[in-house]
Amino acid sequence: MVQPHERQILEIAAAQPMLAQVEQWASVNSGTTNLAGLKTIASMLADAFAALPGEVKMVNPDPIEFVDTNGTIRQIERGEHFHLQVRPNAAVQLLFTGHMDTVFDADHPFQTLRWLEPGVLNGPGTADMKGGLAVLLAALRAVESSPLRDRIGYDVLINSDEETGSHASACLIAQLAHGKTAALTYEPALPDGTLAGARPGSGNFSIMVHGRAAHAGRNPTDGRNALLAAADLALRLSASKTPGLKVNPARIDGGGPNNIVPDYAILRVNMRPANPEEMRAAEIMLHDTVAAISREHGVHCHTHGGFNRPPKPVDAQAHKLFELVRDCGTALGLKLAWKATGGVCDGNNIAACGVPVVDTMGPRGGAIHSDQEFLIIDSLAERAQLSALTILRLAEQQPA
């Protein structure tokens, strides 16, 4: 049950202007590639989080590479990341993460908010995760009014590229996770309140296939068909999936005029291993399959990419943190459960640092990554109170 000294803190959390913040923030397009929109939303977040003590700063993104359709490796520019540090010498050190970017580019038709029904708001990023950012801020403002605040130090990281894999912020996540007692991430919970538990890893690969051009009618056997090799590779990789490994060949770039044997193609593929053992096996399988394609088709292949999200099993530490969150929910009259999911997020990266994390502490919502995305408004106060109580009890559990 909620103790008397906790009740006032929870009332402060619930009273924060979360809906107004979501409406304001979700009205700004902040697709990962929209650098101007990201700069605008970062400034708005800096103004809002200035209500907390500590130093706010913007951190430059790490340089990242991608392979374009011509096979040229280019750099992509990402937005700056938001970082707030509070009481770095306090006894209990926590990490809170979220992201300011959405999957909706500046030219995407889904740009406006509307009420689907009373209490259910449709809009880009309402659940994923501008609602989560509002919940995080509300919880921390409430915690700052607690006598326990001096025991609690924390870093808040809101990155600009989570939706594309956090390549430009992965090192920063690892740096801030180091030495933390626990972490909370503000991806949305499922509509019924269920939390995400174990997550697979995720890796994106671009396999560049170099063949040999030839006339398709006069001397086709002198050619080495890169497009055919890429297609064969896609089929073999798809056939390699197991119960512990999902493989999705997603796209082939390449080819040209019908009268030329194509000398270049690129296969894009995503792989999701359930655990570290499956990830290592997938790396070996990919290497061996690419080598076989090179040998059998007489082509040369180069693989670009890797596993940017390690698998996130629920180990003993994580299970203990889930139980604490569940017990806090019970005290608030919430029945919380968690289950494995096929999605990935920054919680994967945090868990890989040995830090227990619950990564769906945001409000309830659904249909994310689509124009049907929705936020259940009542869950803003509900989840702000859940976070505030979890933070307070983490502080109470740790030795002075």
Last residue of a domain, one of 243, 276, 309: 309
Residue 152, in any domain of the structure: yes
How high is the pLDDT of residue 1? Answer: 87
State the residue for tokens 């103790």. Answer: 3
CA 235 to centroid of chain Cα atoms? 28
pLDDT tens-digit readout, 214-226? 999 999 999 999 9
Residue 72, in any domain of the structure: no
Reply yes or no on whether the pLDDT at 254 is more than 90.
yes
**Amino acid sitting at position 125:** G
**Computed over its alpha carbons, how large is the radius of gyration of the chain?**
23
Residue 71, in any domain of the structure: no
Residue 70, in any domain of the structure: no
pLDDT tens-digit readout, 99-123? 999 999 999 999 999 999 999 999 9
Crossing angle of helices 18-26 and 378-397, rounded to 10°: 110
Least confident of 68-72, 84-88, 164-168, 182-186: 68-72
Domain count of the chain?
2
Pair 128, 251 in one domain: no
Last residue of a domain, one of 309, 331, 364: 309
pLDDT classification of 309: cutoffs 50, 70, 90 = very high
Q: Check which CATH number belongs to the domain holding 336 and give it.
A: 3.40.630.10
Helix (H) or strand (E) holding 366: strand 365-366
Pair 225, 343 in one domain: no
pLDDT classification of 400: cutoffs 50, 70, 90 = low
pLDDT classification of 399: cutoffs 50, 70, 90 = low
Pair 340, 326 in one domain: yes
Last residue of a domain, one of 309, 337, 372: 309
Q: Check which CATH number belongs to the domain holding 214 and give it.
A: 3.30.70.360
**Amino acid sitting at position 212:** R
Residue 112, in any domain of the structure: yes
Q: Are 225 and 261 in contact (CB under 8 A)?
A: yes
Domain limits at 85? 4-63+77-199+312-397
- Counting residues of the chain whose pLDDT is more than 70, the rounded percentage is 99
Reply yes or no on whether the pLDDT at 397 is more than 80.
yes
DSSP letter, residue 365: E
CB neighbour burial string for 186-210, b if at least 16 within 10 angstroms, e if fewer: bbbbbeebbbbbbbbbbbbbbbbbb
Residue 119, in any domain of the structure: yes
How far apart, in whole angstroms, are the C-alpha atoms of residue 366 and residue 194?
12
Angle at 265 between CA 262 and CA 269, to 5 degrees: 150
Pair 353, 386 in one domain: yes
Pair 13, 113 in one domain: yes
Pair 42, 129 in one domain: yes
pLDDT tens-digit readout, 312-367? 999 999 999 999 999 999 999 999 999 999 999 999 999 999 999 999 999 999 99
Q: Are 20 and 130 in contact (CB under 8 A)?
A: no
| Nearest alpha carbon to residue 94 among 104, 86, 105, 82 | 86
Reply yes or no on whether the pLDDT at 244 is more than 60.
yes
pLDDT tens-digit readout, 15-71? 999 999 999 999 999 999 999 999 999 999 999 999 999 989 999 999 999 999 988
State the residue for tokens 């080598």. Answer: 291
